[in-house]
Amino acid sequence: MGCELGKLATVKSQNQTATDLRLPLTAKQKFTVMASWKAVSRALEPTGVYMLIRLFEENAELLNMFTQFRELKTKEQQSNSMELAKHAEKVMSALDEGIKGLDDMDVFLTCLHQVGATHTKIPGFNPQYFWKIEKPFLEAVERTLEDRYSENVENIYKVTIKFIIETLIDGFDKAQNDKAQSDTAKS
Ligand code: HEM
């Protein structure tokens, strides 16, 4: 999922300060997460497939929302599915853009607000469901980073995914409020 905000990032990079007050990470922590993410970025699909399989293992009821692969009930079926792999890639690309955008809070927030907003179109989607990905995400990153996943790195990823989820929920809520307002204006 492309936010195509790269240009904005390039134009602004010259007058960015080291840390942005909106970012709940120190400059050093931001550096650590962005550096370690490079290994995840090279393995987006397998990391994403593992993350989704863990999501559905812990929350089988969520599988029903996915029209493309709701019939895949076992872990084996899920890990061999092209549809699931394609979706994993989309979700991970959105996270990839978000994490690569940590250097510029405007890019990060715009990108993840947009992704959160797309979920308003999913029938029955509750924004609190975003929290369900927290643990599977951390497990998937740990699996990909192996011994690079130190206690320090783990703590930084915990803060990062919490911030990402809060931003997705904000984007969802904003889009839903905007829609409610425009519906009221029409009636
Ligand atoms: C890190 C958190 C998440 C990210 C970054 C994310 C990202 C995405 C993206 C990029 C899409 C594709 C949108 C498009 O094609 O326009 C999508 C679709 C979708 N997401 Fe998420 N998502 C997240 C969490 C969740 C969770 C926890 C659920 C749980 C129910 C969920 C349910 C869905 C569904 C049902 C779709 C539509 C799939 C389809 O039928 O094409 N998402 N998500």
Q: Give the model confidence (pLDDT) of 27-41 as tens digits.
A: 999 999 999 999 999
CA of 14 from ligand 1 middle (Å) equals: 34
Q: Give the mutation target among 112, 119, 138 for probing the ligand 1 site: most ligand atoms within 8 A of CB.
A: 119
Position of tokens 């179109």?
Answer: 121
CA of 119 from ligand 1 middle (Å) equals: 6
User: Is pLDDT at 76 greater than 80 in this prediction?
Assistant: yes
User: Is pLDDT at 175 greater than 60 in this prediction?
Assistant: yes
Q: Give the model confidence (pLDDT) of 111-151 as tens digits.
A: 999 999 999 999 999 999 999 999 999 999 999 999 999 99
CA of 27 from ligand 1 middle (Å) equals: 30
- pLDDT at position 12, please? 53
Q: Give the mutation target among 66, 91, 95, 97 for probing the ligand 1 site: most ligand atoms within 8 A of CB.
A: 91
Q: Considering only CA atoms, which of 67, 65, 85 is closest in space to residue 77?
A: 85
Amino acid (1-letter code) at residue 168 = L
Q: Give the mutation target among 122, 134, 137 for probing the ligand 1 site: most ligand atoms within 8 A of CB.
A: 122
Q: What is the mean pLDDT of the chain?
A: 92
Q: What residue ranges line ligand 1, CB within 6 angstroms?
A: 1, 62, 65-68, 90-91, 94-95, 115, 118-119, 122, 129-130, 132-133, 168
Count H helices, E strands: the chain? 8, 0
User: Is pLDDT at 55 greater than 70 in this prediction?
Assistant: yes
- pLDDT at position 2, please? 58
CB 93 within 8 A of CB 118: no
Q: Considering only CA atoms, which of 47, 85, 144 is closest in space to residue 72?
A: 85
Residues with Cβ within 8 Å of residue 140, at least 6 apart in sequence: 47, 48, 50, 51, 54
Q: Give the model confidence (pLDDT) of 10-28 as tens digits.
A: 455 544 455 889 999 999 9
Quick one: which atom of ligand 1 is closest to the CA of 1? Answer: 10
